[in-house]
């Protein structure tokens, strides 16, 4: 999400083959979920600024923003455990860009299989986000994310 905020933005901004309508839909959803997650986590403006700058969060609240996105996109459960198959949210991409969809599936599998479950689900979500960004970069989804 779809590896969380940065990865979601990567898909929306970097997937040139997607119809503009789908990109706009993804960005609108990210914004809507972001507003919900700010309320849920009490994240500060500085936390949001880090995420918008495509940087991993430095505060617990920022990391919990990633957990909130992970729950919304059915990657993690409320208890911090991983959802076995959390790619359903991206089915709309499958018909529009099957190659991109397959990359997402592979990134999900790689990160899910290598995930380290921390007792703090916000830390787990951050680890998954890092993995997602690294794998997205390796898959050539977006060069802007090399700093991860």
> CATH code at 16?
1.10.238.20
User: Domain total for the chain?
Assistant: 1
DSSP string covering 45-94: HHHHHHHHTT---SSHHHHHHHHHHHHHTTSB-TTSPBPS---GGGHHHH
Provide the percentage of residues in the chain whose pLDDT is more than 70.
82
Task: Quote the distance between the C-alpha of residue 4 and its chain's center.
Answer: 1
Q: Which domain holds residue 77?
A: 4-145
CA distance 136 to 148: 10
Band of residue 16 on the pLDDT scale cut at 50, 70, 90? low
Q: What is the CA radius of gyration of the chain?
A: 14
Query: pTM, whole model, 2 decimals?
Result: 0.82
Band of residue 4 on the pLDDT scale cut at 50, 70, 90? very low
5 pLDDT above the threshold of 60: no
Task: Quote the distance between the C-alpha of residue 103 and its chain's center.
Answer: 14
The pLDDT value given to residue 51? 83
Query: Side-chain half-sphere of 56: how many Cα atoms within 13 Å?
Result: 17
88 pLDDT above the threshold of 60: yes
Provide the percentage of residues in the chain whose pLDDT is more than 90.
33
Q: Calculate mean pLDDT across residues 75-97.
A: 81
Which comes out higher in pLDDT, residue 29 or 8? 29
């Amino acid at each position: 999400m779809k590896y969380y905020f940065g990865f979601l933005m990567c898909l929306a901004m970097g997937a040139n083959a997607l119809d503009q309508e789908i990109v706009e839909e993804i960005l609108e959803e990210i914004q809507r979920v972001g507003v919900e997650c700010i309320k849920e986590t009490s994240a500060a403006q500085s936390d949001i600024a880090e995420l918008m700058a495509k940087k991993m969060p430095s505060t617990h609240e920022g990391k919990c923003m990633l957990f909130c996105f992970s729950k919304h996109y059915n990657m993690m459960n409320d208890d911090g455990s991983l959802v076995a198959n959390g790619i359903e949210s991206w089915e709309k991409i499958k018909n529009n860009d099957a190659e991109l969809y397959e990359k997402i599936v592979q990134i999900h599998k790689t990160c899910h299989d290598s995930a380290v479950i921390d007792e703090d689900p916000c830390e787990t979500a951050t680890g998954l986000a890092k993995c997602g960004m690294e794998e997205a970069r390796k898959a050539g989804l977006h060069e802007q994310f090399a700093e991860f």
